[in-house]
Amino acid sequence: MTAADPSLAFPAKFLWGTATASHQVEGNNTNNDWWAWEQQDHIRDGTRSDLACDHYHRFREDFELLAALHQNAHRLSLEWSRIEPTPGYFDREAIRHYRDVLEWLRRLNLEPVVTLHHFTNPLWLSSKGAWETVEVVDAFGRYVARAVDAFGDLVRYWVTINEPVVYATKGYLEGLWPPGKRSLRLLAQVLHNMILGHARATRIIRDRSPRTDVQVGVAHHLRVFDPYRPILPVDHFVARVGEAFFNRAVLLSMLKGQFQFPFGRGPVPDGHDGLDFIGLNYYSRDMAALDFRYPRNYFGSFFPHPDRPKTAAGWEIYPEGIYRLLKFLGQFDKPILITENGVADERDELRPAFLISHLQQIHRAIREGVRVEGYLHWSALDNFEWAEGRRLRFGLIHVDYDTLERTVKPSGELYAKICAMGGLDAGMIAAYT
Ligand code: FCB
């Protein structure tokens, strides 16, 4: 095996892997609010998660494949609705299943990064308003305690909540995800409760985990916001508002244990020193402009740059963004895991160059002193992409949804070389950028 060019080698213990989420890959998650939402025909391409990738039954082969592709880490989420199908009742079979999953990862030397909440809520919780009411904090805490007791010996990296701001914006501002509401009041309340839930979960994990090396973080979706018309101060202002709301307020509330405007005031109970690491989910950049058609967004509109290259999801491909956001996060002096980064690309035409160019920018940030400890590409497998359905393919591994056959894509092979070398080499860069 060749080695990475010394100038493009990543740190020695770097985590190289991929990320998934339970509902998107497992199949038959019939007991959560996303399943119910799908039955109401909200999915853009008319598909449903159904059997998804049947990963619930095929996790062994899937993880063997990831290990054979030289990965050494894997992010997954626990499906709360399986573990606690009715309030206070914990399902032994589901717990056994996730122990098998985590033991299998460990056996294959894939470091598990475990998310406790990745968008889906058990039906019993959503019927009570899910994250809209403060009762969720106790419910979440009870589930987290059970999960730490059941799996704590196997898990070093816990992610409490995936992308709180995306969850709240999609479900409570845009109305495109369950529960399909549009209310600024509820949006703020949901995020307030997620900040509380994160703090509660963090304390529970630290108190109950049997591991001395346990690390708690959040997977935070950050975007770059740039003014569309740089000569207009109002566009700069809109970009700053977008950034303050989307990138900073929730993250800083969790990090400092002090509520940031507009999600509350004063100290967050249990919130002190709320993050051992920061999980960065990075996809794209938005242009920001003043636009009187959007009073709900404070007259701001956010959109992909019309003239730049885009993914199949219509998102701008902007590798430098990950560097800029890593530099922003670097100021907090916490270890950073890239918990997601990837591209919707049906034919795997964009992904190889996407991988290389983003890794180059990550390497640049590391060279400048930012403490990036791992890269988890979204995603291992093509999977069910929420309101977009199956149309968008994010996997390094292709899934044929009729036969469920897995085929490693060229980008998957390329990533395997990168993982094996622990970095990039000049030949790859020349070939793909
Ligand atoms: C992120 C989600 C993840 C996946 C990617 C494409 O916002 O966390 O589940 O859908 O986008």
Q: Token match 């508002």: residue?
A: 241
Atom of ligand 1 nearest to the CA of 21: 9
Residue 119 tokens, joined: 């968008």
Give the pLDDT band (50/70/90) at residue 197: very high
Q: Which of 38, 79, 84, 163 is catalytic?
A: 163
Look at residue 292 in the predicted model and tell me its pLDDT.
79
Report the separation in Å between the CA atom of 337 and the middle of ligand 1, taken as the mean of its atom positions: 16
- pLDDT bucket at 126, cuts 50 / 70 / 90: very high
pLDDT value for 1? 57
Cα distances (angstroms) measured from residue 57 to each of 26, 43, 73, 157: 8, 25, 20, 24
163 is catalytic: yes
- What mean pLDDT is predicted for residues 120-140? 98
Q: Going by CA atoms, what residue is nearest to atom 10 of ligand 1? A: 385
pLDDT over 90 percentage in the chain? 95
Quickly state the pLDDT bin for 320 (edges 50, 70, 90): very high
Mean pLDDT of 259-279: 94
Sign of the torsion angle spanned by Cα atoms 37, 41, 46, 48 = positive
pTM: 0.97
The rounded Å distance from CA 162 to ligand 1 centre is 9
CA of 387 to the centre of ligand 1 (A): 11
Model pLDDT for residues 207-238, shown as the tens digit of each residue: 999 999 999 999 999 999 999 999 999 999 99
CA atoms of 196 and 208, how far apart (whole Å): 18
**For residue 326, which amino acid is it?**
L
The per-residue pLDDT of the chain, averaged, comes to 96
What is the average pLDDT across 33-59? Answer: 98
Q: pLDDT tens digits, residue range 404-415?
A: 999 999 999 999
CB-CB contact of 213 with 220 (8 Å):
no
Give me the mean pLDDT over the 372-396 stretch.
98
Nearest alpha-carbon partner for 404 in 53, 29, 64: 53
316 is known as an active-site residue: no
Closest CA to 221 of 159, 270, 155: 159
Which residues, 6 or more positions from 287, have their beta carbon under 8 angstroms from its beta carbon?
226, 227, 228, 302, 303, 304, 305
- Where helices occur in 173-296 by DSSP H, the ranges are 184-208, 233-243, 250-256
What per-residue confidence (pLDDT) applies to 298?
A: 63
Hey, which of 22, 165, 340 would you mutate to test ligand 1's pocket, going by the most ligand atoms within 8 Å of its Cβ? 340
Tell me the CA end-to-end span of the chain in Å, nearest whole number: 23
Cα separation values, 58 from 42, 125, 237, 393, 399, Å = 28, 28, 49, 19, 12
Fold of 8-432: TIM Barrel (3.20.20)
